[in-house]
Amino acid sequence: MGLMSYNGGGIIAMTGKNCVAIASDLRLGSQSTTLAVDFQKTFKIHDTLIVGLAGLVTDMQTLSQRFKFRHNLYRLREDRDMRVSAFANMVSSMLYEKRFGPYYCEPIIAGLEPDGTPFVMGMDLIGAQGQSEDFVVAGSNTESLFGVCESFYRNDMSPEELFETVAQCLLSGVDRDCLAGWGGIVHIITPEGTVSRTLKGRMD
C-alpha cells in the first residue's frame, strides 16, 4: 500500500529571475476513491514563504499546523518573519525529531530571502535537506514530475514565463499518476507580492 501514496498528490517548486513558483495538484483520495477535487497542498507561512507538503494527509495537516504555530511564536518573540533558510532548517529539525516514528510527509519549501534571492528546497520524510538551484518535486509520482521539469526548465524565467512552465509541468506530470491531478494551483512569489492561479486540467 505505502503510506506515502495513500492519499496521492504532486508538488513542484521552481526558481525564476527574482521569483519562485510553487504548485500542487488538487486531488485528495483514499487509494482509488477520489474524495475531493479542491484540496490544496500548499500553505502560506508569510508573504515570501510557502511550504508544500506531499504524502499522508493527516501528517500534512498536523505539520502545517505545527509550522504555523512555530512561526507565530517566532514572530511574537523576534518581531520579524522567519527567513526562508531558517524556516527550512527548522522544518528539517522538526522532522528529524521523529526519526524513529516519522511524519509521512515530504515538504517542499519555496520562498525569497530578504535580499530577494529565490530559494527552493525539498526534503525527505526525516528531514534530509535537498536545496536546488532550479526545481524540486515531491508526491506520489516524482519520476514523471522530474522528467517534465528537467525538459522544460530554463534559467532566469520571468514571473509570467515561470507560471506557464510550472503549470504545464504540473499538469502533464500528474497525468501519468492516477492518484494525483484533478486540476492544480500555482503560486508565483515575487518581492511585490504573490499571485495564485487555479488550473483546470484533465479531471480524471
Partner 1 sequence: MGDSAYSFSLTTFSPSGKLLQIEYALTAVAAGATSLGIKATNGVVVATEKKLPSILIDEDSVRKTSLLTPNIGVAYSGMGPDSRVLVKKARKIAQSYYRLYKETIPLSQLVRETATVMQESTQQGGVRPFGVSLLVAGYDDQGPQLYQVDPSGSYFAWKASAIGKNMVNAKTFLEKRYSEDMELEDAIHTALLTLKEGFEGQISGTNIEVGIIGADRVFRVLTPAEIQDYLEEVE
Q: Which of 37, 90, 178, 195 binds partner 1 (CB under 8 A)?
A: 90
DSSP secondary structure string for all residues of 15-46: E-SS-EEEEEE--EEETTEEEES----EEEEE
Cα gap 59→157, rounded to integer Å: 33
Q: Does 78 bind partner 1 (CB under 8 A)?
A: yes
Site for partner 1 in 162-201 (CB under 8 A): none
Q: Answer yes or no: are the C-beta atoms of 170 and 185 closer than 8 Å.
A: no
Q: Is the CA virtual torsion 160, 16, 24, 81 positive or negative?
A: negative
Q: Does 89 bind partner 1 (CB under 8 A)?
A: yes
Which three cell numbers mark 87? 524556516
Q: Does 1 bind partner 1 (CB under 8 A)?
A: no
Q: Does 93 bind partner 1 (CB under 8 A)?
A: yes
Q: Answer yes or no: are the C-beta atoms of 184 and 167 closer than 8 Å.
A: yes
Q: Which of 58, 62, 85, 172 binds partner 1 (CB under 8 A)?
A: 85
DSSP secondary structure string for all residues of 54-104: EE-HHHHHHHHHHHHHHHHHHHHHHSSPPPHHHHHHHHHHHHHHTTTS--S
Closer Cβ to partner 1, 86 or 128, answer by number = 86
Tell me which stretch binds partner 1 (CB under 8 A): 79-87, 98-106, 174-182, 191-199. Answer: 79-87
Q: Which of 36, 86, 128, 203 binds partner 1 (CB under 8 A)?
A: 86
Q: Which of 44, 46, 68, 83 binds partner 1 (CB under 8 A)?
A: 83
Per-residue buried b or exposed e for 145-173, using 16+ beta carbons within 10 Å of the residue's own CB: bbbbbeebbeeebebeebbebbbebbbbb
Tell me which stretch binds partner 1 (CB under 8 A): 83-91, 120-128, 154-162, 185-193. Answer: 83-91
Tell me which stretch binds partner 1 (CB under 8 A): 43-51, 75-83, 133-141, 173-181. Answer: 75-83
Tell me which stretch binds partner 1 (CB under 8 A): 12-20, 77-85, 99-107, 178-186. Answer: 77-85
Where does this chain bind partner 1 (CB under 8 A)? 77-78, 82-83, 85-86, 89-90, 93
